[in-house]
A = this chain, B = another copy of it.
Amino acid sequence: MKQKHPLRIIPLGGLGEVGKNMIIYEYNDESIIVDSGIMFPENDMLGVDYIIPDMQYLKDKKKTVLGIIYTHGHEDHIGAVKHVLDIVQAPIYTTQLTRGLIEAKLARNGNGQRADINTIKAGDQVALGPFMIDFFHVCHSVPDGIGLGIHTPQGLLVHTGDFKFDQTPVDNWPTDFARLAELSQQGVLALMADSTNSERAGWTPSEKVIDQALDNIFREASGRIIVASFASLISRMQQVANTAEAHNRKIAFVGTSMVDNAKISRKLGYLKIPDSQFVSLEQALKMPPSQIVLMCTGSQGEPSSILGRLADGRHSQIDIQMGDTVILSSHPIPGNEEVVYRTINRLIRRGANVLYESIAPVHVSGHASSEELKLMLNLVRPQFFVPIHGELRHLTQNARLGVQVGIDPENICVVENGQVIEFQNGYMRKAERVPGSYVFMEGSVVGGLGPDTMQEREKLSQSGILIVNVILDTLTGALRDEPEIHSYGFYLSPETLLKQTIRDAIPRANGNLKEALLKAIRAQVYEETLRRPLIDVNIHRI
């Protein structure tokens, strides 16, 4: 039967840029939202706190939203929940642990009461207008992740979310092959699959390999053990806790987000640690070093994190000491390499034995590598393929994998955020573009950071600013006082000839005095320093 309305896919986040995943599925003016993540700024996005998807399209269509689905509890999928709820009044559907993490997040922002959250579990079906959604379990580096089978009037979509095919995950709950095969049997119109690790050959190792690595390290360590990881890596907490127990060590979690997430996960049964194994940081610090493990944040080298403070000797309660073993159970996010390596170097300098991904198998990725991605494609056998979750290079590489397993290149669609895709009666086409770029969050200002402001920051960061105040007599136009010069982030020798330059320039200026002064100052400063700081000239006439 021919359908009058196309099924529309509106990617607002996660296609073409790292993180901040957000996709709207729309049919005949009814829609669902899948995920709404944030992204952390790159090194040259100066002063930006975090980045959210551009939600202009959502603002225009807010009445059409029937539900908001979250696939798992990582920041790049749930981080912008508050911003979505600022626009849309619709119920949230997600699993128990993800719900817990979202609620904790909203509570921290003082938005706890607003959310109408429905707990679903893998295997459930939910009908939302023209959409019937099948939730199936996927493995990822946070428990309770789901992928979606979305039945629509135009056909069945499979949306993987972040996933890997770990056969031996920590929670013994592998990705649901059977359910995927069942969906496949029904005939899949399009697969939307995670592309994060499409550049990696082979299979992502199982989380199981970490058990062995931790066991080896714990056996060798005679002093304190400190494990740094992501606060959302609940399965890593479980692995560290298990190894600690096997080696007669107690575990203490350090840092708000780590403590919070451990608490939620234990309460909900996703983290199984007996009370007897738990100690507080205060208790831990009184125990013999060989009997404790501290687990903390800071594996990305963040200076304000626990590990960052330990590396710099700025933690109020703990000092790294000779004999400590520090494990970074993580992978540096691109852009963080320098600070992560600096943290490692500083910990070594303080006497710690530091173990990290490059020299010990203490971390595995939560995302499927290329062989797993090909397996997903072969399992689901979609007619169309839309790579999601990744930069353009990842999407492009995932598309190549699609071609390798025999998908017609014409049926693969690599698009970036804002490019709408439509499916109608077995055809796919690119439709219009909608706003799909970064929205910078800074302090309380949503998107107030324009390119001019960023360019000024860039210039300020490179050469600083020189501020010149000149007071002139209104009548004679002559200087009433010495020119006053000061600077920030810029060094000018005390022997500078700049005051003389200014004194000389004033009587010679025809027309715009400010322009003439700027020009003379700029030339003199460049001659003396070979730099071009921002120059701010204030002329006061009295």
- Which positions in A face B, CB cutoff 8 Å? 16, 42-44, 46-47, 199-200, 334-335, 337-339, 341-342, 344-345, 348-349, 354, 358-359, 391-393, 396-397, 416, 442-445, 448-450, 453-454, 456-465, 467, 469, 471, 480, 484, 486, 488-491, 528-531, 534, 536, 538, 540, 542
Contacts and interface: CB of A to CB of B under 8 A. Distances in A.
Contact of A491 (B43, B453, B464, B538): B453
Contact of A489 (B199, B359, B457): B457
Contacts of A457: 460-462, 464, 489
B444 A529 contact: yes
Given A42-B338, A488-B536, A453 B444 contact: no
Contacts of A456: 464, 488-489
A488 B464 contact: no
A486 to B, nearest CB: 8
B393 A341 contact: yes
A392 B488 contact: no
A122 to B, nearest CB: 32
A6 to B, nearest CB: 26
14 contacts: A42-B342, A43-B43, A43-B338, A47-B462, A334-B337, A335-B337, A337-B337, A349-B392, A442-B531, A456-B488, A459-B489, A460-B488, A471-B540, A488-B534
Nearest to A18: B341
B531 A393 contact: no
B349 A341 contact: no
A530 B443 contact: yes
B397 A359 contact: yes
Given A47-B531, A442-B531, 10 more contacts: A443-B529, A444-B528, A444-B529, A444-B530, A456-B489, A458-B461, A459-B488, A461-B461, A467-B536, A538-B538
A531 B471 contact: no
Contacts of A200: 358
Contacts of A199: 358-359
Given A43-B338, A536-B467, A540-B540, A16 B359 contact: no
Given A341-B393, A391-B341, A47 B464 contact: yes
| Stoichiometry, copies per complex | 2
A396 B43 CA distance: 28
Nearest to A358: B199
Instruction: Give the secondary structure class of A's interface.
Output: mixed
Contacts of A341: 334, 391, 393
B47 A489 contact: yes
Nearest to A531: B443
Given A491-B449, A491-B453, A467 B467 contact: yes
Most buried by B among A392, A460, A463: A460
B465 A460 contact: yes
A405 to B, nearest CB: 17
Contacts of A462: 46-47, 457
Contacts of A396: 348, 354
A489 B453 contact: yes
Given A443-B529, A444-B529, A453-B490, A538 B484 contact: yes
Contacts of A464: 47, 453, 456-457, 460
B47 A463 contact: yes
A226 to B, nearest CB: 16
A392 B345 contact: yes
A524 to B, nearest CB: 13
A397 B396 CA distance: 36
A226 B468 CA distance: 48
A224 B471 CA distance: 61
Contacts of A448: 491
B337 A393 contact: no
A342 B339 CA distance: 20
Contacts of A471: 540, 542
A319 B454 CA distance: 27
Contacts of A491: 445, 448-450, 453
B463 A465 contact: no
A275 to B, nearest CB: 38
Nearest to A526: B443
B453 A348 contact: no
Nearest to A538: B469
